Amino acid sequence: MANFVLVHGAWHGGWCWQRVQRPLAREGHRVHAVTLTGVGERAHLLSSAITLETHIADVAGVIEAEELHDVVLAVHSYAGMIGTAIADRMGGRLRHLVYVDAVVPRPGESWSSTHSRAVREARLAGAEGTDDYSLAAPDPNNYGLEGEDYAWVKRRLTAHPGHTYEATLDFDPQRVASVPRTFVNCVRPALPTIDAIRPRMADPQFWGGAWRGGAGAQVVELATGHDPMVTLPAELAQLLLRCA
């Protein structure tokens, strides 16, 4: 039996993993879909006090409270920041770290570091105009969603805590690289704010060479958009099972 901890990206919630949770649980595994503070069913907690460290503590708290070891930690999009921090601080509790079309930062970078100036300025201006310094949810057509999938995601997306956007993360790449890693590259359509991350996965010098080293890294491509847990849940579940 494996322990899966699934962490959604910005504007989402633990709900987005429903279609992946079921096949994992059917195989007899323990599955925890974390909802980060201030979003999803925890949207009532949204405030300007929420930071990246709040969200790191959310995930670390699940691992600690559930006494989980040999964890397959799957992190989507923005949550790549969180997964990197958990691998740095709690790497001994992880079996595999799966970046699902996610941010893979360099030390000292933020979620916003690889975004265009126009995107950064628009998001920060939007946050400044809110009482709780939050980022408004985008239209899910950015994720390549259509029909019932589009409607299902659109009605569930919530504003996201804005102080997570420019928060930087310091970590030791060698320590993170001691955990086996997979990057799930979602390319149909590719989300522009992840485009700057994709070349890093093929760069032998990324993390000073540590990405290619350590316990090993692989890239797996899925022919779908940014939310594969919605559009290709069976395929993503099988990928996670292989990582276990």
**What is the domain-level CATH number for residue 9?**
3.40.50.1820
Q: What is the C-alpha radius of gyration for the chain, rounded to an integer number of angstroms?
A: 17
pLDDT given at position 1 = 86
First to last CA, the chain: 9
User: Distance of CA 129 to CAs 10, 51, 116, 173, 222, Å?
Assistant: 19, 18, 20, 36, 37
Mean pLDDT (whole number) for 130-147: 97
171 residue type, one letter? F
C-alpha count within 13 angstroms, C-beta hemisphere, residue 41:
6
User: Distance of CA 18 to CAs 88, 129, 180, 210, 244, Å?
Assistant: 28, 33, 25, 33, 19
Residue 116 annotated in active site: no
**pLDDT exceeds cutoff 90 at 171:** yes
Q: Residue 218: beta bridge partners?
A: 182
Which one, of 77, 76, 42, 71, lies nearest residue 58 by Cα? 42
Q: Is the pTM of this model over 0.85?
A: yes
**pLDDT exceeds cutoff 90 at 130:** yes
Catalytic hit among 47, 77, 113, 116: 77
- The total domain count for the chain is 1
pLDDT digits 0-9 by tens, 174-216: 999 999 999 999 999 999 999 999 999 999 999 999 999 999 9
Mean pLDDT (whole number) for 31-41: 98
Domain containing 166 equals 3-243
pLDDT given at position 153 = 98
Neighbour tally for 225: CB within 10 Å: 24
Mean pLDDT (whole number) for 22-35: 97
pLDDT digits 0-9 by tens, 11-21: 999 999 999 99
